[in-house]
Amino acid sequence: MTIHSKETKGKQKFNAIFSHYVAVKYYPHYVFTTEKALLVNCNDYPDMIGELNAYDRVELTAEIQETCKDGVILKNVEWRAVNE
């Protein structure tokens, strides 16, 4: 059983690295790594699929939807590539 907690609203910025895909609640999610796994529903952002390669650095601006055992699920995500 997965325990979920609802989080506060408000956009936050995250600098992360794209890692891989994982199924969460039967839906595919992008996984971005920071100190925690940041999860973004693939179905909500299909344009990211062709844009992301493993280890790409991105800046995410998003609201936290909830925290689950797999990481932090984000919603209302805006993202851009970070060139270093």
| 30-51 residue pLDDT tens | 899 988 899 999 888 887 777 8
E strand intervals along 1-84: 5-6, 12-24, 27-33, 37-41, 57-68, 71-81
Would you state the pLDDT for residue 3? 35
* pLDDT band for position 17 (cuts 50, 70, 90): very high
Output the pTM of the full model: 0.80
* pLDDT band for position 9 (cuts 50, 70, 90): low
Task: Judge whether 21 and 31 are in contact, CB under 8 Å.
Answer: yes
Beta bridge partners of 57: 17
Per-residue DSSP letter, 74: E
pLDDT over threshold 90, residue 24: no
Would you state the pLDDT for residue 63? 95
Cα 47 to Cα 1: distance, rounded to the nearest angstrom: 32
Q: Which residue has the tokens 């408000």?
A: 10
